[in-house]
Amino acid sequence: MSQQRITLFFPRLSQKKTLRDSRCLFLELPASIRLQIYYEAGLVSGKTIHLSYWGSRNKESTSKTRDNTLGISDLPALPLNLFAVCRSVYNELRKVLYGDNRLVVSRKAPRGLRVLERLSASTLLEIHFLVIRLNVSSCESRCCGARGHRCGNDWHCCLSPSSHDLPLSSSVDQLVIIQWKRLCMQLANGVQLSNLALYVTCDCNDATTAQMITQSLRLLPALRDCGLRLAIHMDEDIKSITKDTVMRLTRNSPPRPPPPFRFLDLPKEIQLHILAYASLVPRAEIICTQKRLHYWAPCQLRGTIADTPIIDAVLLKCFCSAAHSAFSFHCYCDDLTSPFTMFRVSREFRDYAMEVFYGQNSFSVLMEQPVSLPRDVAAISLRQDADRGGQIAESLLISIMPGLASFPPASIGFLTSLCLRFEYSDLEHLQPNQVGWDNWLGTIHTLSQRANLAALTLQIQMSEKFYPDFDDEKVAFSPMYKAFMQQTYENLVLPMKVLRGRLKNLFIHLNWNTSSGFLDGRREHEQLLERIVMGHTYSAWNCGKTVRYPGRYKNALE
């Protein structure tokens, strides 16, 4: 049904002048039928609509603005002509358009906050979900500060840094603060109590500016839901202001501490099951270096405040409380704090926590580290090895480290998923005559003596120059170099034959960190190395081996 057919339900003007009893037949239809006709005419519901572009028919012009919302939904132009039919139709359309969609307003978009200021009080009453991007200091579609993947955003350099707002400052942005206060007063007079879910992003320069922004927000009545971000970086003072404001706007108070619970009196199976839901088990691999353990979990909702298609997620994030000075009831990252306080409760509790932490997590151990060399070795000039196709003096600075030395001895028996990683290099330090080879033999001996091999899945990840990234220029190596690397890999896995018959799974990945997933022959090499340890009939792919893409190829897909 096209948009024009709706006029068939209305009497002609000539009939309206001549007949007294002329009636609007359309309004006599059931409400559900009328709503379906509106949808066929172009009305939408359950969508994310940027109010600066919702009536625009020229979508190309939206990408030329300074607003950093590059992921605007490709919605068709809404049926604006229907709003002028009559007041009854106008009220029905307004209720669906403003009440059943997620509305977004950005100060940097065309018309800015005036789009919201020009709405009548009756229209404001219909709004149920509103996102105000008052000041956004990041490009949410591609980057979000130097935070890595914590909110699901990419770690590429921003392609358009000039499109970002500078952090709001109370000394130079008085006009913005005054406009914000005026808008909050308008919302306070037009918003129905506990009807609106409001989410505001205003990256501030300091706590003083954040206080000025929240003072205006506190003029609003109680909200149905609220999310607030006041700084792109993590600042405890600003974050405290953020949380207090959200709690006050939603009329929530901090929960009272529960009464003491005799957890240790529960059966062991129930205790372990409960601990698995605590912060002992994050949703990400735990990376271990020689000096520290990197424990963090990516935001489960990727910083968004609603389930939405990827193209709309740009407008609805990022409110991750672990990455920003932000707070919302949709992000639980604050609850997933460091679990190590659980190891200090009691000896019995520590034993159970250790069993869950080391037994239900996946650990990735970096097996290399630069080492100090004697002066005569460090003074060796760089020399080119034609057979191996690279400069080798640099590799002398790298050594295999005792990767499991930092693990408590009792914890190794609980490990079920362990990855030993060798980073990108020419891998010459993996030869038996190199410094650190004894550390590799010691690591294998530790696994052989202390690990529960029947439950352990062991992964070996190695990266070398023979397999560059998919968008890098490939380097031509001589056949002698290939033979040298093949022998290097075999030398590394040969000591692991002591694990044969006891190890559950062994997965070997060549050039894992920069793998693009192309079929370049590495699978045959991996299978050969795996069978040296596990036997000639072993198939890692039948045992659950998978291919992941943690390099740039994966990032481009996200």
**Cα–Cα distance for residue pair 359/281, rounded to 1 Å:** 9
Dist. CA 152–CA 142, nearest whole Å: 10
Bridging pattern class, strands 384-385 and 390-391: antiparallel
Task: Average the pLDDT over 440-465 and give the result.
Answer: 90
In 3-state terms the chain splits into helix, strand, coil percentages (rounded to 5) of 40, 15, 45
The token pair at 127 is: 């709004």
How is residue 474 written in tokens?
């490939």
Q: Which two tokens stand for residue 238?
A: 């600003």
Tell me: the pLDDT tens digits for 120-154?
A: 888 899 999 999 999 988 765 555 544 444 454 44
Contacts of 5 (CB under 8 A, 6+ apart): none
Between 288 and 202, name the one with better pLDDT.
202
The pLDDT value recorded for residue 280 is 80
What confidence tens digit (pLDDT) does each residue in 148-159 have?
444 544 445 555
| Gap between the Cα atoms of 32 and 16, Å rounded | 27
Structure tokens at 228: 């607030």
As a whole number of angstroms, the distance between CA 328 and CA 236 comes to: 15
Q: Give the residue from 272, 466, 268, 243 showing the smallest Cα distance to 360.
A: 272
Q: DSSP label at 228?
A: E
The confidence score (pLDDT) of residue 164 equals: 72
pLDDT band, very low/low/confident/very high, at 16 (cuts 50, 70, 90): very low
Count of CA atoms in the C-beta half-sphere (13 A) of 237: 8
Three-class DSSP category at 460: strand
Taking only the tens place, the pLDDT of each residue in 333-369 is 776 666 777 788 888 888 888 899 899 889 989 888 7
pLDDT computed for residue 487 by the predictor? 86
How confident is the model over 39-98, as pLDDT tens digits?
Answer: 888 888 888 888 887 655 444 444 444 444 444 555 666 777 888 788 888 888 888 888
Q: Name the token pair of 470.
A: 């998919």
**Could you tell me which of 220, 149, 197 has the C-alpha nearest to residue 316?**
197
What is the C-alpha to C-alpha distance for residues 301 and 315, in angstroms, rounded to an integer? 14
Contacts of 188 (CB under 8 A, 6+ apart): 219, 220, 221
**Which comes out higher in pLDDT, residue 469 or 262?**
262
Confidence of residue 275 (pLDDT cuts 50, 70, 90): confident
**Helices in 143-206 by DSSP H: which ranges?**
174-190
The pLDDT tens digits for 460-493 are 988 776 554 445 555 566 677 777 888 888 989 9
Give, in order, the Cα–Cα distances in Å from 497 to each of 98, 223, 315, 491.
67, 64, 53, 11
End-to-end CA distance of the chain: 37
pTM score: 0.64
Cα separation of 26 and 34, whole Å?
A: 7
Distances (CA, A) of 518 to 479, 515, 549: 21, 8, 11
∠ Cα 551 553 555 (to 5°): 75
Helices and strands (DSSP H and E) totals, the chain: 16, 16
Closest listed residue to residue 467, CA positions, set 431, 425, 507: 425
